[in-house]
């Protein structure tokens, strides 16, 4: 029976039924073509490229569909908002390509400088005359027809610098205080400047990045919980500090209290989702964007997707983001570099957190915070920075150990060849890590010899009678040898006696 079960188990694993148990334990042959494709070295890279392309294309289509009416009313042309979004998407694609080509060492080297520059930009945007105020928040630089939000740049700069700092300190085995002192004060400064704008959505987004860094860096649970409590308290204070934000919270708690005031936007979003049904009214055929739903092309574009593409389209979009989550965590799990592992996991949680908050307040599960849907909503800086961070994730996918080995071995990859990307460099521990490994090996050598000493000392000491007695060398032999020969002679005589008795 056991042999039959073993053969069935080997057949399920794809191993040969004649394989040894050791070979069967290490042999995992995929049973399907999809499983074989998932096991290829460049699968993660291809997945993240495909997901980014699909989300970007769908975002441009939905921005064009949702913004035409508002753009025509404001500027006399239905193409103005879409044109700005297209320009920022092209900027994001250049940033995406540059992030894929950038060396990991260069990225880590420029991490602190980039974060310091974004802090300066956050200070400058608060100065009247330099920063522009819109929707009750002074958080934009306006240059001609384009506007830029420095808080979006601050988030990605903080994610890269935080991952670099925690990875380096973690490998150096720094104390908890040494890991938190540079990171948490810097996060407090950035959060304080964003709160001063004020911008609730960006505050929550930066808080998600901080929590993800602390969680995936493996810091103690009390540190994570205390940081989570601090972020929640800050968001709550910011939510009730202004009249329009507190009205949003009250309308979320009691949706029927002010349907024509603070609760109007959330009500119209739910109406649009209900009108879409299963299959939707058709692309471009929605009615909510005809000035019934404010910010239909921006914060509430998911409602337009549900109305025009129906439940099928909305569920398909969420599946795309689910595939993005799987790909990001797969890359983080397979990365050998601690910096890339931490940065990829943090960036994945950052994007997923924004998706959860945006979809949550559109369907009524969360209060309205004004956070955009990544790569889908109309927002130039948000789209460009999201493409930049996805480019970093794609760079991490190319630096997986199997991908590095395959590309350096000369295996032809069409996407890599089409984009003319340089060969990735294998992960090499830093000088500090090498010194630490040498010190650890030196410490481990005495520890390896230590167990042998007690074993040597615990051996039974020979009895005095067993000790050999030195005699003259020319005679040879010793007392033990003589005693053995006497014993052998005695056994021989006894054997002959028994033989004589047996044969009579």
Phi-psi category of residue 15: left, alpha or beta, with phi > 0 → left and psi -120 to 50 → alpha: beta
Which residue range is the domain that position 90 belongs to?
A: 55-101+242-399
Statement to judge: residues 248 and 349 lie in one domain: yes
Say how far apart CA 342 and CA 451 lie, in whole Å.
38
Instruction: For residue 246, tell me if it sits in a domain.
Output: yes
- DSSP character at residue 282: -
pLDDT of residue 26 exceeding 50: no
Instruction: For residue 389, tell me if it sits in a domain.
Output: yes
Statement to judge: residues 153 and 214 lie in one domain: yes
Q: Which residues, 6 or more positions from 103, have their beta carbon under 8 angstroms from its beta carbon?
A: 425
Statement to judge: residues 195 and 257 lie in one domain: no
Say how far apart CA 431 and CA 434 lie, in whole Å.
5
Inter-residue contact 158 to 150 (CB < 8 Å): no
Instruction: For residue 458, tell me if it sits in a domain.
Output: no
- Highest-scoring range by mean pLDDT, 37-46, 76-85, 382-391: 382-391
Statement to judge: residues 354 and 215 lie in one domain: no
More confident site: 212 or 492: 212
Locus of tokens 């009313």? 73
Model pTM score: 0.78
pLDDT digits (tens, 9 = 90+) for 416-470: 888 888 888 888 776 666 666 676 667 655 544 445 555 454 444 454 444 454 4
pLDDT of residue 471 exceeding 80: no
More confident site: 502 or 163: 163
pLDDT digits (tens, 9 = 90+) for 220-263: 888 888 888 877 777 777 776 665 666 677 766 666 666 666 67
Q: What angle do CA 208, 375, 63 make, to 5 degrees?
A: 135
Q: How many domains does the chain have?
A: 2
Mark which of 383, 399, 415 sits at the end of a domain. 399
Statement to judge: residues 207 and 118 lie in one domain: yes
Statement to judge: residues 94 and 142 lie in one domain: no
User: Cis before residue 274, ω within 30 degrees of 0?
Assistant: no
Statement to judge: residues 215 and 288 lie in one domain: no
Residue-wise burial string across 273-293, b where 16 or more C-beta atoms lie within 10 A, e elsewhere:
bebbeeebbeeeebebbeeeb
Statement to judge: residues 364 and 291 lie in one domain: yes
Statement to judge: residues 176 and 257 lie in one domain: no
Instruction: For residue 16, tell me if it sits in a domain.
Output: no
pLDDT of residue 146: 73
User: Per mean pLDDT, which range of 47-56, 100-109, 176-185, 438-447 is the poorest?
Assistant: 438-447
Statement to judge: residues 92 and 112 lie in one domain: no
Statement to judge: residues 250 and 184 lie in one domain: no
User: Per mean pLDDT, which range of 12-16, 203-207, 322-326, 328-332 is the poorest?
Assistant: 12-16
Instruction: For residue 477, tell me if it sits in a domain.
Output: no
Say how far apart CA 28 and CA 385 lie, in whole Å.
39
Statement to judge: residues 271 and 319 lie in one domain: yes
Where does the pLDDT of residue 504 fall: very low under 50, low under 70, confident under 90, or very high at 90 and above? very low
């Amino acid at each position: 029976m056991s042999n039959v079960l073993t053969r069935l188990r080997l057949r399920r694993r794809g191993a040969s039924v004649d394989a040894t148990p050791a070979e069967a334990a290490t042999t995992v042959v995929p049973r399907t073509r999809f499983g074989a494709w998932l096991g290829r070295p460049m699968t993660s890279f291809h997945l993240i490229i495909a997901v980014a392309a699909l989300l970007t294309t769908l975002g441009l289509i939905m921005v064009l569909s949702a913004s035409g009416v508002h753009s025509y009313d404001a500027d006399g042309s239905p193409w103005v908002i879409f044109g700005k979004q297209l320009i920022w998407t092209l900027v994001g694609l250049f940033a995406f390509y540059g992030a894929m080509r950038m060396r990991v060492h260069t990225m880590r080297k420029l991490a602190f400088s980039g974060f310091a520059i974004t802090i300066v930009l956050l200070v400058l945007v608060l100065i009247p005359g330099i920063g522009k105020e819109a929707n009750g928040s002074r958080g934009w630089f306006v240059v001609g027809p384009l506007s830029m939000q420095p808080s979006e740049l601050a988030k990605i700069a903080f994610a890269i610098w935080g991952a670099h700092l925690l990875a380096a300190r973690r490998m150096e085995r720094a104390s908890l205080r040494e890991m938190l002192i540079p990171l948490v004060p810097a996060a407090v400064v950035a959060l304080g400047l964003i709160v001063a704008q004020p911008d609730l959505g960006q505050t929550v987004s930066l808080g998600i990045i901080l929590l993800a860094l602390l969680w995936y860096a493996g810091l103690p649970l009390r540190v994570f919980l205390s940081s989570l409590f601090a972020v929640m308290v800050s968001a709550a204070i910011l939510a009730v500090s202004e009249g329009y934000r507190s009205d949003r919270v009250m309308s979320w708690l009691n949706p029927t209290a002010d349907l024509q005031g603070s609760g109007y936007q959330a009500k119209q979003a739910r109406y649009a989702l209900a009108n879409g049904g299963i299959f939707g009214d058709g692309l471009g055929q929605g009615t909510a964007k005809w000035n019934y739903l404010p910010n239909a092309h921006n914060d509430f574009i998911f409602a337009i997707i549900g109305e025009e593409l129906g439940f099928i389209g909305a569920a398909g979009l969420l599946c795309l983001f689910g595939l993005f989550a799987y790909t990001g965590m797969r890359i983080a799990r397979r990365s050998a570099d601690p910096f890339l592992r931490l940065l990829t996991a943090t960036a994945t949680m950052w994007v997923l957190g924004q998706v959860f908050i945006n979809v949550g307040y559109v369907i009524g599960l969360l209060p309205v915070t004004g956070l955009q849907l990544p790569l889908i909503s109309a927002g130039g800086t948000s789209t460009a920075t999201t493409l930049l961070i996805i480019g970093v994730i794609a760079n991490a996918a190319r630096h997986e150990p199997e991908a590095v080995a395959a590309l350096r071995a000369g295996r032809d990859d069409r996407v890599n060849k089409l984009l003319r990307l340089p060969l990735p460099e294998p992960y090499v521990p830093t000088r500090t890590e090498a010194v630490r490994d040498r010190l650890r090996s030196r410490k481990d050598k005495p520890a390896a010899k230590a167990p042998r000493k007690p074993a040597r000392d615990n051996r039974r000491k020979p009895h005095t009678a067993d000790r050999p007695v030195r005699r003259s060398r020319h005679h040879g032999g010793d007392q033990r040898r003589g005693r053995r020969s006497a014993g052998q002679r005695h056994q021989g005589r006894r054997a002959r006696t028994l033989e004589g008795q047996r044969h009579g």
